[in-house]
């Protein structure tokens, strides 16, 4: 299977893990990474900059209808849901929050599963609510690969535990193992 | 809840709505519209897209419910407080130099943008001077916006946004609470004209100094988004302002050249004078 897209969901305790993953990936990494992380809705700037400090890959907060390119990281903007449309472009939405969250990991994962099917890898990291559990199941149901950070390693394990309970996930990995796993995709 | 509708079902639902009611939704953004169809199925206790289509074709008054489901997207009062501050501090002083300035809230859905604007105008002592025109696609929606009733659970968010816009005042000045309902002051909309109007096809029969069109294009595909911008542009006076969502592009339909960025971060554009 050729995995072209990786979508990562996380909340409390995921920032350090995402930073670690991005710093370990080479500039030449040719998959597209989508980040759907819970964040303060009124703080629009600073997040991309903070993530970019150690990343070798360019991180973007996409505009609506922005074309999706390989080798980029797209971070869901504050206070929007992030979707992926057939035709390979992004869509944003201000629909009601889901699981008290906008961006909602479930909604982004549903959309990615529908659009990218078995070319997709879904990863759930540390987090404090259950957002993402149904989304990850949907990725699995659509033929994608599912990975969850080992709850034992998570700062807050609610999100990863919920994901594991909802789906028979393919891999439960520590952050170091996630990095190795992604590096081997190359 | 996510796998009710495939692409073929989606097209069939659009076809049914178009054939039954003459409303063509085929240029709406796929994912958000698909989600609204799925919600329609759930909220009406239906089991499939076939049942939804049957209901669309057989029950004529189901149309208003469809319209509501499609229109009611969630905005929030004082979304992007920094945009409202910029509007108050930089844009309105320029606008106020016109003799009878008009502001157009285009394609209104929930009314929260409108009410935020009305509050900004009042606090800038411009509520008597500036006329607001609100357009929306359904009569039902005009009625709903005029009523100004919101879920009181939203107050906390609205108030937090408002305080970032104006730390020296309180939003509670502008509403009363009854049970779990937040009821906005009717006086805010005394200088507001409501028009049932479809931004997609009709030119507004008025010229305006400012148009608020934030987070609307995200629900359309590229060609419809471009069409609406073109249509709106016809009504914006030279030197007037065009404000879109902070994550929206001005389209490539040729309209962009008519504007210069006034504040790019807040997506405020100003129309050239010639």
Rounded Cα distance, B32 and B50, in Å? 19
Closest CA to B219 of B116, B48, B75, B118: B75
Q: Tell me what ipTM this predicted complex has.
A: 0.92
**Catalytic machinery residues of A:** 11, 38, 131
Q: What is the mean pLDDT of residues B59-80?
A: 85
Beta bridge partners of A82: A92
Nearest CB to A95 within list B73, B164, B225: B73
Q: Write out the DSSP string of B59-101.
A: -TTHHHHHHHHHH-----TTSSHHHHHHIIIIIHHHHTTSSS-
Q: How far is A142 from chain B (nearest CA, A)?
A: 10
- The pLDDT of A170-180, averaged and rounded, is 98
Q: Give yes or no for A100 touching B (CB within 8 A).
A: no
What pLDDT does residue A85 have? 97
What pLDDT, on the 0 to 100 scale, is given for residue A27?
95
For residue range B28-58, what is the model confidence (pLDDT) as tens digits? 999 999 999 998 999 899 999 999 999 999 9
| Contact call for residues A52 and A12 (beta carbons, < 8 A) | no
Strand pairing report for B268-271 and B236-244:
antiparallel
**DSSP H or E run through A89:** strand A89-93
Task: Establish whether the linkage from the previous residue to A56 is cis, with ω within 30° of 0.
Answer: no
**Residue-wise pLDDT tens digits, B212-260:** 999 999 999 999 999 899 999 999 999 999 999 999 988 666 788 899 9
Which range has the worst mean pLDDT, A168-182, B75-89, B95-109, B240-254?
A: B240-254
Mean predicted confidence (pLDDT) in B140-144: 90
**What pLDDT was estimated at residue A40?**
82
Helix (H) or strand (E) holding A176: helix A175-185
A85 and B245 within 8 Å at the Cβ level: the answer is: no
Mean pLDDT of A37-43: 86
Please give the structure tokens belonging to residue A106.
């479930």
CA dihedral B257, B262, B267, B271 (to 10 degrees): -40
Q: Are the Cβ atoms of A64 and B247 closer than 8 angstroms?
A: yes
For residue B205, the model assigns a pLDDT of 79
Query: What's the pLDDT band for B117 if we cut at 50, 70, 90?
Result: very high
Nearest residue in A to B82, CA atom: A42
* Cβ–Cβ below 8 Å for A77 and B32: no
What distance in Å separates the CA atoms of residue B196 and residue B185, rounded to the nearest whole number?
22
Q: List chain B domain ranges.
A: 7-71, 81-271
pLDDT in tens, B150-200: 999 999 999 999 999 999 999 999 999 999 999 999 999 999 999 988 766
Q: For A113-157, what is each residue's pLDDT tens digit?
A: 999 999 999 999 999 999 999 999 999 999 999 999 999 999 999
The dihedral formed by the CA atoms of B151, B156, B160 and B162, expressed in degrees to the nearest 10? 40
User: Considering only CB atoms, which chain B residues are within 8 Å of A166?
Assistant: none
| Closest residue, chain B, to A138 (C-alpha) | B2
Res. B2: pLDDT tops 60: no
| Residue B114 pLDDT | 97
**What pLDDT score was predicted for residue A25?**
97
Mean pLDDT estimate for chain A: 95
Distance between CA atoms of B149 and B212, rounded to whole angstroms?
A: 21
CA B42 from centroid of its chain's CA atoms: 25
d(CA B95, CA B105): 15
pLDDT at site A5:
98
* CATH number corresponding to B81-271: 3.40.50.150
| Residue range B68-93: mean pLDDT, rounded | 90
Range of weakest confidence among A100-109, B78-87, B115-124, B198-207 = B198-207
* Beta-strand relationship, A5-10 and A171-173: unpaired
User: Which one of A34, A42, A45 makes the best mutation probe of the B interface by having the most chain B beta carbons within 10 Å?
Assistant: A42
The whole-number pLDDT of residue B137 equals: 83
Reported confidence tier of residue B3, pLDDT bands at 50, 70, 90: low
Confidence of residue B65 (pLDDT cuts 50, 70, 90): confident
Please report the domains of chain A, with CATH numbers, ordered by start residue.
Answer: 5-185 (3.40.50.180)
């Amino acid at each position: 299977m050729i995995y072209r897209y990786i979508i990562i969901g996380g909340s409390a305790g995921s920032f350090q893990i995402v930073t670690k993953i991005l710093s370990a990936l080479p500039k030449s990494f040719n998959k597209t990474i989508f980040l759907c992380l819970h964040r303060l809705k009124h703080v629009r700037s600073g997040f991309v900059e903070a993530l970019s400090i150690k990343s070798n890959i360019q991180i973007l907060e996409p505009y609506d209808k922005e074309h999706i390119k390989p080798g980029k990281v797209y971070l869901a903007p504050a206070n929007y849901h992030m979707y992926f449309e057939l035709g390979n472009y992004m869509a944003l939405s201000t629909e009601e929050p889901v699981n008290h969250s906008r961006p909602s990991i479930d909604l982004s994962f549903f959309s990615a599963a529908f659009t990218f099917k078995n070319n997709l890898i879904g990863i759930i990291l540390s987090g404090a609510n259950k957002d993402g559990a149904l989304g990850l199941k949907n990725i699995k149901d659509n033929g994608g690969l599912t990975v969850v950070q080992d709850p034992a390693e998570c700062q807050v394990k609610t999100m990863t535990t919920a994901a594991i309970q909802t789906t028979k996930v393919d891999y439960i990995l520590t952050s170091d193992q996630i990095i190795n796993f992604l590096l081997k995709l190359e | 809840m996510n796998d009710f509708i495939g692409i073929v079902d989606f097209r069939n639902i659009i076809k049914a709505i178009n054939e039954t009611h003459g409303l063509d939704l085929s240029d709406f953004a796929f994912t958000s519209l698909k989600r609204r169809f799925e919600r329609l199925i759930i909220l009406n206790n239906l089991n499939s897209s076939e049942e939804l289509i049957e209901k669309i074709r057989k029950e004529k008054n189901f149309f208003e419910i469809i319209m509501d489901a499609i229109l009611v997207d969630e905005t929030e009062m004082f979304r992007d407080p920094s945009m409202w501050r910029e509007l108050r501090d930089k844009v309105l002083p320029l606008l106020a130099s016109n003799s009878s300035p008009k502001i157009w809230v285009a394609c209104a859905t929930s009314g929260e943008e409108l009410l935020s604007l009305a509050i900004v105008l009042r606090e800038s002592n411009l509520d008597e001077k500036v006329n607001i025109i609100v357009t929306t696609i359904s009569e039902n929606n005009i009625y709903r916006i005029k009523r100004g009733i919101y879920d009181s659970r939203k107050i906390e968010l609205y108030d937090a946004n408002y305080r970032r816009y104006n730390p020296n005042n309180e939003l509670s000045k502008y509403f009363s609470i009854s049970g779990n309902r937040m009821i906005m002051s009717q006086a805010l909309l005394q200088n507001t004209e409501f028009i049932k109007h479809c931004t997609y096809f009709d030119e507004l029969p008025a010229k305006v100094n400012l148009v608020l069109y934030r987070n609307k294009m995200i629900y359309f595909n590229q060609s419809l988004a471009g069409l609406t911008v073109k249509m709106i542009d016809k009504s914006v006076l030279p030197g007037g302002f065009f404000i879109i969502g902070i994550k929206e592009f001005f389209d490539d339909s040729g309209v962009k050249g008519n504007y210069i960025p006034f504040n790019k971060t807040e997506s405020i554009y100003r129309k050239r004078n010639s």
